[in-house]
Amino acid sequence: MAFNFGTPSGTSGTAAATAAPAGGFGGFGTTSTTAGSAFSFSTPANTGTTALGGLFSQPTQAPAQSNQLINTASALSAPTLLGDERDAILAKWNQLQAFWGTGKGYFNNNIPPVEFTLENPFCRFKAVGYSCMPNNKDEDGLVVLVFNKKETDIRSQQQQLVESLHKVLGGNQTLTVNVEGIKTLPDDQTEVVIYVVERSPNGTSRRVPATTLYAHFEQTNIKTQLQQLGVTLSMTRTELSPAQIKQLLQNPPAGVDPIIWEQAKVDNPDSEKLIPVPMVGFKELLRRLKVQDQMTKQHQTRLDIISEDIGELQKNQTTTMAKIAQYKRKLMDLSHRTLQVLIKQEIQRKSGYAIQADEEQLRVQLDTIQGELNAPTQFKGRLNELMSQIRMQNHFGAVKSEERYYIDGDLLREIKQHLKQQQEGLSHLISIIKDDLEDIKLVEHGLNETIHIRGGIFS
């Protein structure tokens, strides 16, 4: 959650709601402009003081501040309003108001009462949190506009919003308004990040600096037009200079105990990216809680999207693995066919030659393999045994069909998968045996032809 280090350019939510037209974005496209509202780059933008304002601003009028402290001390410790023991009760009442951060502290008939706010140093409802520091440069030209509208309304009429902001900039054809991002905020508000691109006559273009664009939005007549569009707040989104960060950290915000501020700086979990900010009152705490809840929902949405992507990748992986297995089987089949071709070619090449010692040894080995395959205790016998057991189980199931057995669904799927793998293995084994038998027959046929040819020669 980024913290606003600039002073809001819009008015309060109530004023903006009053100025904005009722329903939707009725103000878009109807904003009137004058010659004085044209966008000008010659006007110097001096927003350094504004950027350091807000919660971190310090009083500059020392005498007024001194009188305020004296009056506050008198209201809390020694009021002289009634001139009797009731002044002590009034002092305690003023202390309670100061601790709560609201009310007026009467202490003298000739002096106006002290106005107790949440910023007074005696208010107890204060805490220090941490917010992310922006990392965008002024050249990026990013300016944040907070609309008192829902995100769906903003997105549905985004083009109309861009056109209305272009009119606010004077309708200059060399300027183009672009939307960098849209984000939902609590209380049906929406944050829109924009930047403006300026095209020069020679064809080049550049982004209008954020401070320049913000200074234009700060003009009184421009503020009014933005309020008609539903803008309640505007700020630059630029990184702070090291000098600004140093000044913010060295000077505790108004009403914050310096000891608490120093401890907050020590407890900062990431001083490079986070900066301590005061949370004064329950309203500010509620606001941060809503923003945190909103960010949590956005993170959950992103996690759901990632989970869907992972599921899709898993499906693709399963499909790819199946294709790989298919290609492996095809490769094995092609290998067998290649072997058959080589066998036939070898038979033709060796035709007319006497059987060599290594060929005789190979025939003996093939005969041994054939004998092992046909042996009752080897593969063929085991296959026959499995077939017999399957037939018996089918017969037993038919006889006792009235008995019902229930198996857990996961276990049943595992059994089916195991049997499927066994069946595929058996089918593959049978296919290999058949191919080997055919190869043996081809070899025997070639040998017989060779012997027959030799017999004819010698006869």
Structure tokens at 388: 């017999």
Question: Using 50, 70 and 90 to split pLDDT, how confident is the model at 316?
Answer: very high
Go through 195-220 and write b for each residue having 16 or more CB atoms within 10 A of its CB, e for each that does not.
bbebeeeeeeeebbbbbbbbbbbbbe
- Token representation of residue 16: 């903006």
| Run of H or E including 14 | helix 13-19
pLDDT at 398 over 70: no
What are the pLDDT digits (tens) for 31-88?
A: 444 433 344 444 433 333 333 343 333 444 456 667 878 888 888 888 888 888 898 9
Q: What are phi and psi of 44, to 5 degrees?
A: -70, 140
Query: For residue 345, what pLDDT band results from cuts at 50, 70 and 90?
Result: confident
31-47 pLDDT, tens digit each: 444 433 344 444 433 33
Token couple for 113: 């009462």
Cα-based distances in Å from 330 to 327, 335, 423, 439: 5, 9, 18, 19
pLDDT band at 147 (very low <50, low <70, confident <90, very high): very high
Predicted local distance difference test score (pLDDT) of residue 177: 92
- 3-state SS, 181-225, equals EEEEECCCEEEEEEEEEEECCCCCEEECCHHHHHHHHCCHHHHHH
Give the pLDDT confidence score for residue 336 in this predicted structure. 92
At 319, the pLDDT band (50, 70, 90 cuts) reads very high
Decide: 119 and 102 in contact? Cβ < 8 Å: no
Q: d(Cα 266, Cα 178) in Å, to the nearest integer?
A: 40
Contact between 39 and 175 under an 8 Å Cβ cutoff? The reply is yes
Q: pLDDT value at position 178?
A: 93
> Residue 368, Cβ neighbours under 10 Å: how many?
10
Range 261-289 average pLDDT: 89
Over residues 189-219, the pLDDT tens digits come to 899 999 999 998 888 999 999 999 999 998 9
Contacts (Cβ under 8 Å, ≥6 apart) of 410: none
What confidence category does residue 400 fall into, taking pLDDT thresholds of 50, 70 and 90?
Answer: low
